[in-house]
Amino acid sequence: MLTIGLLGGMSWQSTVEYYRIANELVAARLGGLHSARLVMSSVDFAEIGQLQRSGQWDVAGQVLAQEARNLQAAGADMVLICTNTMHKVADQVAAAITVPLVHLADTTAAAVRAEGVRKVALLGTAFTMEQDFYRDRLASHGLEVLVPPAEDRELVHRVIFEELCVGVVRDESRQAYREIITRLVEQGAEGVILGCTEIELLISPDDCPVPSFPTTRLHIGAAVDRALELTSV
């Protein structure tokens, strides 16, 4: 079994899910007492969040690149950035290591295409929804990406940072997300990408009238496949 390197802490609420799902998937596939081979680096999200807000993406990339090097030195055979937003610096991180970086948007796009969906809604942080680094990566796989209007984007972003990242899950916020998803479906979305790793703490497939694509589960699932050598790295 190969060793998965988790670059997490952004936020730790969703990084916990990466750890849990990885071990559940390995146990389900191998049985007995099997668990995933993992190494983890968990950064202080307050520091990364400040760099995000101030637009210092290159500095944030340097921080994550060093953490990725640490993971490789600790024995990781692949590295996962356990957050959608920080894939803005994915190329910078990938260039710092010689093991593969498993790109979250690529694994998500593969799942979307496998469902026969081509026009997909994207929910995430304002950075993910409004900047082109993530939308363009999805588009490179032949997907048409819809994002909510400004007022809805503000609500989605606020719930992520003020509630989900600190472990608060509110029914009112779940209903607000459902309404946003419904409006996107009315605009033609055939599926919904839950493009922030914390959103899966709030929204389940039952909350979506079309197929939903939980990026945390898809990302770690792809890594487990590679760790068990079920797919090529």
| Residue 163: both structure tokens together | 């509630």
At residue 231, the pLDDT reads 56
Same domain, 148 and 158: yes
Q: Does 164 reside within a domain?
A: yes
Same domain, 89 and 67: yes
Number of domains present in the structure of the chain: 2
At residue 233, the pLDDT reads 45
Same domain, 121 and 182: yes
DSSP result, 57-113: HHHHHHHHHHHHHHHHHTT-SEEEES-SGGGGGHHHHHHT-SSPB--HHHHHHHHHH
Estimate the crossing angle of helix 45-53 against helix 57-73, to 10 degrees.
150
Q: Does 70 reside within a domain?
A: yes
**Residue where the block lists tokens 């610096």:** 89
Q: Does 232 reside within a domain?
A: no
Give the residue among 8, 9, 11 at the shortest CA–CA distance from 163.
Answer: 11
Q: Are strands 144-146 and 191-194 parallel, antiparallel or unpaired?
A: unpaired
Same domain, 112 and 195: yes
Q: Does 182 reside within a domain?
A: yes
What is the torsional sign of CA 198, 199, 205, 206?
positive
- The model carries a pTM of 0.93
Nearest-angstrom CA–CA distance, 87 and 66: 15
Q: Does 134 reside within a domain?
A: yes
Give the residue among 199, 218, 212, 201 at the shortest CA–CA distance from 121.
Answer: 212
Successive 10-residue mean pLDDT values, the chain, 233 residues? 97 95 96 97 96 96 98 98 97 98 97 96 96 95 97 97 96 97 97 95 95 96 93 50
Q: Reduced to 3 states, what is the DSSP secondary structure of residue 203? A: coil
Same domain, 116 and 94: no
Same domain, 124 and 40: no
| Residue 172: both structure tokens together | 């009112």
Residue 23: which CATH number? 3.40.50.1860
Same domain, 179 and 205: yes
Domain of 8? 4-103+217-227
Q: Does 72 reside within a domain?
A: yes
* DSSP 8-state secondary structure symbol assigned to residue 193: E
Same domain, 89 and 144: no
Q: Which amino acid is at 60?
A: A
Same domain, 66 and 124: no
Half-sphere exposure of 101 (CA within 13 A, CB side): 25
- Please name the helix (run of DSSP H) or strand (run of DSSP E) that holds residue 147, with its range, or none: none
Same domain, 198 and 221: no
C-alpha distances in Å from residue 100, one per residue of 2, 77, 138? 12, 7, 19
Same domain, 74 and 135: no
Q: Does 48 reside within a domain?
A: yes
Indicate the burial class of 186 (C-beta count within 10 angstroms; 0-12, 13-18, 19 or more): exposed
Tell me how many degrees the CA angle 70-66-40 measures, rounded to the nearest 5: 40
Active site residues: 83, 196
Same domain, 138 and 84: no
At residue 229, the pLDDT reads 86
